[in-house]
Amino acid sequence: MREPVVSFDGVCKSYPLYHHVRGIKHLLFNFPRNLKAMKSMQYEAIRGISFDVYRGEQFGIIGHNGAGKSTTLGLIAGVLKPTSGRVVVRGRISPLLSLGAGFHPDLSGRENVMLNGILMGLTRREILEKLDEILDFTELGEFIERPIRVYSSGMLARLGFSVVAHLDPEILLIDEVLGVGDIRFRQKCAKKIREFKRSGVTMVMVSHSVDGIARLCSRAMWIENHTMQMIGDAKEVVAAYQAANADEADASDPVNEDFAGVEL
């Protein structure tokens, strides 16, 4: 059972900081200098991270803004390539579910479901078989025929999660999305996620609602300052993370309790 489906081995990811060299003028006039500058000016978003995620596991990633969580998910999804180190993924990956507009803003929800599924690697036939089930799950009603640029962020999240959850991925990547759904949808998602647990779908989720991570995930990783601070049992990692941020957390504690019942 302890079969790793995602393995990171000493992974570093640097982003180039060369936005100011983007123009041809700069490129031509400062060519030799810029080439050198481009190589040296890198921003390390992730430094030497190694971990494994095992089959059927619900794995959480927590950490401060800009710590490198989304970068880690991008590396798993294969849209980013590591600068050094090795990323091995065994299994079919879902599209990265993240905040913001889904696929094409001018296409309707229904058309986006189709595009989304085909991008995942399914064929039109396979998606048509499940289309009704997916559209039902979104509960978007007549909005499904409207262009998604008029959707609210919660509606986009509904659409995104519904597609991804119904097309049988083996590895599900979720970046923050579920936080914007309403209570009812979160409960629905929580139910779906529990189903995933039973059917052995691996899930990697990033969230700032650490209570949700503690409840839904079996293991978690805490990324601090672009390196791995701690990995292990989700509840222990979350507790350590909260303890480390106790000063700031004090003030917001009552707020946390307010949301405690419905958090994912």
Ligand X SMILES: Nc1ncnc2c1ncn2[C@@H]1O[C@H](COP(=O)(O)OP(=O)(O)OP(=O)(O)O)[C@@H](O)[C@H]1O
Pairing relation of β-strands 42-54 and 4-16?
antiparallel
Distance of alpha carbon 205 from alpha carbon 178, whole angstroms? 10
Strand order in the sheet with 202-206: 97-98, 171-175, 202-206, 58-63, 219-224, 227-233
Q: Please report, as a single letter, which amino acid is at residue 99.
A: L
Residue found by looking up tokens 């978690």 in the block: 220
In 32-191 the beta strands, taken as DSSP E runs, fall at 42-54, 58-63, 84-89, 97-98, 171-175
Closer residue to ligand X in complex, CB, 70/116:
70
| Interface with another protein in residues 82-111 (CB under 8 A) | 89, 91-98, 100-104, 106-107, 111
Q: Which two tokens stand for residue 124?
A: 């039109």
22 makes contact with another protein (CB under 8 A): yes
Interactions with another protein, residue window 171-210 (CB under 8 A): 199
- Fill in the DSSP letter of residue 228: E
Does 211 contact another protein by CB under 8 A? no
For another protein, which stretch binds (CB under 8 A), given 73-81, 179-187, 226-234, 242-250? 73-81
Partner touching 63 among ligand X, Mg ion, another protein, none, CB below 5 to 8 Å by kind: ligand X
| Residue number with CB closer to Mg ion (72 or 162) | 72
Piece of the chain touching Mg ion by CB under 5 A; list 53-61, 62-70, 119-127, 177-185: 62-70
What's the start-to-end Cα distance of the chain, in Å?
26
Among 64, 57, 87, smallest CA distance to 232 is for 57
> By rule CB under 8 A, what string of x and - marks binding of each residue 106-125 to another protein?
xx---x--xx--xxxxxxxx
Residues forming contacts to Mg ion in the complex (CB under 5 A) are: 70
Residues forming contacts to another protein in the complex (CB under 8 A) are: 15-16, 22-25, 27, 74, 77-81, 89, 91-98, 100-104, 106-107, 111, 114-115, 118-126, 147, 167-170, 199
